[in-house]
Amino acid sequence: ANVRINIAIDGPAGAGKSTIARKVAGKLSYVYVDTGAMYRAATWFMLQHGIPSEAEDQVLQAVHRLDIELVPGENGQQVLVGGVDVTGEIRSLAVNAKVSRYAQIEGLRSWLVSLQRQMALRKGVVMDGRDIGTTVLPDAEVKIFMTASIEERALRRYKEMKEQSDITLKQLELDIAERDRLDREREISPLRQAEDSILLDTTHMSIDDVVEFIVSRVQSIQGREGEV
Ligand code: CDP
Ligand code: CDP
Phi, psi of 30 (to 5 degrees): -100, 170
Q: In angstroms, what CA-CA distances link 67 with 25, 38, 76, 190?
A: 24, 10, 20, 25
Rounded to whole angstroms, the Cα distance separating 3 from 97 reads 40
For residues 56 and 109, the answer to whether their CB atoms sit within 8 Å is no
Q: Which residues contact 120 (CB under 8 A, 6 or more apart)?
A: 6, 33, 127, 136, 137
Using the atom order of ligand 1, give the atom closest to the CA of residue 180.
Answer: 14
Q: How far apart are CA 147 and CA 86, in angstroms?
A: 28
- 143 has which bridge partners? 8
Selection from 7, 3, 11 nearest residue 21 by Cα: 7
How many CB atoms are located within 10 Å of the residue 64 CB? 9
CA pair distance 176, 153, nearest whole angstrom: 8
Ligand 2, pocket-test mutation among 40, 156, 160, 211, most atoms within 8 A of CB: 156
Would you call 28 helix, strand, or coil by DSSP? helix
CA angle 3, 129, 153 (to 5 degrees): 120
170 vs 214: CA distance, rounded Å: 31
Q: Which long-range contacts link 213-220 to residues 24+ away (Cβ below 8 Å)?
A: 214/7, 214/9, 214/20, 214/24, 214/142, 214/144, 215/24, 215/27, 215/28, 217/142, 218/5, 218/7, 218/24, 218/28, 218/141, 218/142
Q: What is the DSSP letter of 16?
A: S
* CATH architecture of residue range(s) 6-215: 3-Layer(aba) Sandwich (3.40)
Q: Which residues are near ligand 1 (CB < 6 Å)?
A: 13-14, 18, 35-36, 39-40, 99-100, 103, 129-131, 179, 183
Other beta carbons within 10 Å of 44: 24
Residue 76's pLDDT is 72
Number of the ligand 1 atom closest to the C-alpha atom of 179: 14
> How many whole angstroms separate alpha carbon 106 and alpha carbon 103?
8
Whether the pTM exceeds 0.90: the reply is yes
pLDDT of residue 1: 67
What ipTM did this prediction achieve?
Answer: 0.97
**Mean pLDDT per 10-residue section of the chain, whose length is 228 residues:** 92 96 96 96 97 97 93 83 96 94 97 96 97 98 98 95 87 95 96 97 97 96 73
What is residue 138's predicted lDDT score, i.e. its pLDDT? 98
